[in-house]
Structure 1
Amino acid sequence: MIICIAREYGSGGHDIGKRLAANLNIPYYDRKLIDAAEDIGLKRSILEKADEAKANPLLNTPQYNVSEIRFRGLSANDIVYQLQSEWIYETANKGSCVIVGRCGDYVLEQTGVPHLSIFITAPFDDRVSREMKRHQLSEKDAVALVKKMDKQRRSYYNYYTDRTWGDPHNYDLCINSTTFGIERAAKLLTVFVRNIE
């Protein structure tokens, strides 16, 4: 079973995905794409800015020493999206795994690969509180971070797909991590996946 998890920032989607993968004894993938893109000559600093970020005019100048001809002339954002799409497709065809973010649900739907699409959400205040603890931030800084990251993810998803990020119609299952907690949400998803396989 291929499981794609999209998540609001601070909802615990990363942790839920990791625990779900561990419970099912399958690989977990989140930021692995950065390594693949580095292999063709893009600098990690550029990739970090382009990862799950809407096309940025400052990153659109093809000034990178890219080793593969097919990527020459593309923006860093577009290269990262193309690489991650190829990687997601190839990885999904190898067997069961959990893929977090990076439009995984859309990529697999467009390529006809069966998968389960999950969206992890939580109330805004709970997400802010979680990030305050996680990063030792003031409330003001945590609010700004959560808003910024949600906007970035929304812009990225909406830019590269014909969908609206977070719209429940795009997902097979939506879970509020505050209702269940991280551990219980992972257990609930584990039971769910085992019962539909």
Structure 2
Amino acid sequence: MENYVVTFARGFGTGGKEIASKLAKELGIHCYENRILTLASQMSGLDEKLFQEVNEKVRSNGGFSSFLKGLPRAKSYISRNEKFVSDDKLFEYQKQIIENLADTESCVIVGKCADYILRGRPNIVSIYIEAPRDFCVKRTMEHMGVTEDVATATIVHTDKFRADYYKYYTHGNYWTNPVNYDLTINSEKVGIEDSVKLIKDYMKIKGIIK
């Protein structure tokens, strides 16, 4: 069977990462999220901290070059005498990793605009996980051990980062637009385990898995 990729976009606190991980485990394939940052760092020769700084965020304070200026011995972060002038270059490295993964193996990819990057390819299933705010707040409080106010603020800010990032790197597309995805799932109503089952059933309908 040909390679396939399941991409996940998710609201903070929805359980989207857990669903993605469980799906990958049941399918016997890798789940990539922050490991993409590690791979991009290895490929580029740049410190992984630079990729973490722009992980699904768009910076408004001068971006990559501004960040470098604030680092001691900033030149140590540059390899092969390349000059980097914006966070766009960091995104391009991540994009190359995502494309290489799709070329070489079946996998699950969480975030990073993967649905947009891989659009038009065969055997790509794009999932969006969302849930009501109360559900997300409760999950965040439980998983992070924080107060309701902190959980709410974390959700609001993280989802804004992800939406802005998606809009910027997909040239104006909206992160929450259901047209971008094969399935949009309410994880509160469907549940974590049944969300995994639902996605697998859809993949069977599409003939991607048996």
- Cα deviation code 1:15-67 (max 9, x no counterpart): 10111111111221111122123323433333222111113324331635321
Contact in 1 for aligned 2:40/2:97 (Cα 8 Å): no
Q: Select 1:99's aligned residue among 95, 102, 109.
A: 109
User: Bigger shift: 17-26 or 56-65?
Assistant: 56-65
Q: Which residue of 2 aligns with 1:59?
A: 63
1:157 aligns with 2:166: yes
TM normalised by structure 1 equals 0.90
2-side partners of 1:50 and 1:43: how far apart? 12
1:3 aligns with 2:12: no
- Number of residues paired by the alignment? 193
Unaligned runs of 5+ in 2: 69-73
Q: Select 2:194's aligned residue among 168, 179, 184.
A: 184
Superposition CA RMSD, Å: 1.7
Amino acid paired to 2:154: L
User: Bigger shift: 18-27 or 148-157?
Assistant: 18-27
Larger radius of gyration: 2
Amino acid paired to 2:78: V
Unaligned runs of 5+ in 1: none
Contact in 2 for aligned 1:55/1:156 (Cα 8 Å): no
Q: How does 1:17-28 map to 2 (within 5 A)?
A: 17-28=20-31
Q: Select 2:46's aligned residue among 42, 53, 70.
A: 42
TM normalised by structure 2 equals 0.85
Q: Select 1:121's aligned residue among 130, 135, 138.
A: 130
Report SS of the residue matched to 1:46: helix
Offset, 1:108: 0.8
Report SS of the residue matched to 1:78: helix
Offset, 1:68: 4.3
Q: Which residue of 2 aligns with 1:80?
A: 90
